[in-house]
Structure formats: C-alpha cells, structure tokens
Amino acid sequence: MFFGIAQSIVILILIVTFYSIDILMIHRYDKQRKQQKSGRAWDYTLLMLGIAVVVILQPILLPQLGLFTKQVWGLIIQVLGITLAACALALHIWARQHLQCFYAERVEILPNHQVIDTGPYMLARHPIIISFFGLAIGFFLINPALTTLAMMIYTFWDFGHAARQEEKLLSENLPEYHQYMQRTPRFLPRLRKLEGRGSFSFEQVMANDEYRGIATAALLLTIFGFMAYGPFSILSWLSDLAG
C-alpha cells in the first residue's frame, strides 16, 4: 500500500485531470448559453477546491488520520480506487458531452431548456452526479482516512439533495420530464428495461465525440496502472522515498 506523498500525488493527478476537463467543457459549451450566465458557480468551485486542498495535503501533513497496511489487499483496494476514479472521469466526460450547455454548478433552468435522454441519460437521470459519487469513493479507497470519509459523506448528501431539487424544478417547467422520470431511474440503471430504447449508432458516437470519453478512460487506466504496479512502479518508488 502506497502512502504519504504518493497518495497525495495520485489524488492531485486525478483532481487536476478533472478540473482540466471541467475548464475545457465550460469553455466549449458556455458559448451555446448566449445571454445566460456561465455554467460556472464560483462559490461552489471555491468550496470544492478548498476540500481538494485538504484531501491532497492530509496524507503528508496528517497521515495519522488515515489507515495504512503493508498487506497486499491494501494495494489492491487502492488500485480499485484508482480504476473507479478513472471510470468516473470517463462517465463525467460522456455525460457532459450530452448535457452540453445545460450543465451548471447550480440548480437552474434555461429559456431553451430541454430533456436530455441520450447517452448515459438513457440509463440514469443524473450520470454526472454518479460520476461525483465514483470519484468520492475512489478517493476514499486510495486514501482511507477521516478526511476522505467526511468528503464522501458530504458528496452523497449534497448531490443527493441537488438531484431532488433539480428533478422538482425540471418537472415543474418541462412536462416531458415527468415522463422521463417514470421510465429512467435516478441513479441505478435498470439494464433489463433498456431493450427497445434504440440501437447502437457508431455515427452518433462520433458526432457527440463520445469516443473521447473511452479514449480518456483507457489512457488514465494505463497511466495509473503503470504508476501503481509494474516495471515503472512510480508509487512504490515514491513510498520508499517518503519512508
């Protein structure tokens, strides 16, 4: 199990990757919002950055708040956490490419708002929130500590509340959203009920740039795989250096 500075570096890489994606997506789709304000909410962004700083620095400054073991299962759990976080990032990209200008860091409705039921939104009503859940759990598995536990609990509470608020607002303003809610679960997809919802379209995947999410996930998994285990074993080297 890698610890200390190695944990901080892995979490830093994941957070920098997420915000790099977020900045690119905001820049790309804010242009479609016309006279509406940006999808960015700076009070929320600054709060999340503050939490990120605490989570990054804790393994170095307050390692006693975390759990550490030299057993192999500890490393396995961390690799699972990295894999989960990488998959969550891929899901986030996929969902943002379908939501486009309707993404916002607050609960709102635009004048031209419409129900999005393509891509991951065909499986669940809140795939972006699911990606945040995946990231929070991934961070906790990478660094099982009181800080990441508190962040995970807060993430589930805050975004669970936001999902209910969004559903109330959209169902009150978009009549078709109520029908969408009836056929699509909030978080956990009902895979057996997907039959008849349409067939796979390679042209649609290319048109929506969905292949980028798959490529990003594959790249991240490859990089983190080499970092966690294998001939490049960067994390083991960092742990030895920190020790």
Q: What CATH number is attached to the domain comprising 187?
A: 1.20.120.1630
pTM of the model: 0.83
Query: Which residue stretches of the chain have pLDDT < 50?
Result: 196, 198-202, 231-232, 241-242
Do residues 217 and 134 touch, judged by C-beta distance below 8 A?
Answer: no
Q: How far apart are the first and last CA of the chain?
A: 12
> Half-sphere exposure (CA, 13 Å, Cβ side) for 131?
22
Residue with tokens 């699972």: 80
- Which pLDDT score is estimated for 236? 56
- Which pLDDT score is estimated for 200? 43
Residue with tokens 């500890």: 74
∠ CA 136-193-165, rounded to 5°: 45
- Which pLDDT score is estimated for 39? 80
- Which pLDDT score is estimated for 128? 96
Per the structure, how many domains does the chain have?
1
The closest alpha carbon to 104, from 46, 180, 25, 164, belongs to 25
Domain that holds residue 57: 5-242
Sign of the alpha-carbon torsion through 178, 126, 31, 108: positive
DSSP single-letter state for residue 65: G
SS (H, E, C) 119-147: HHHHCCCCHHHHHHHHHHHHHHHHCCEHH
Helix (H, G, I), strand (E, B) or coil at 66: strand
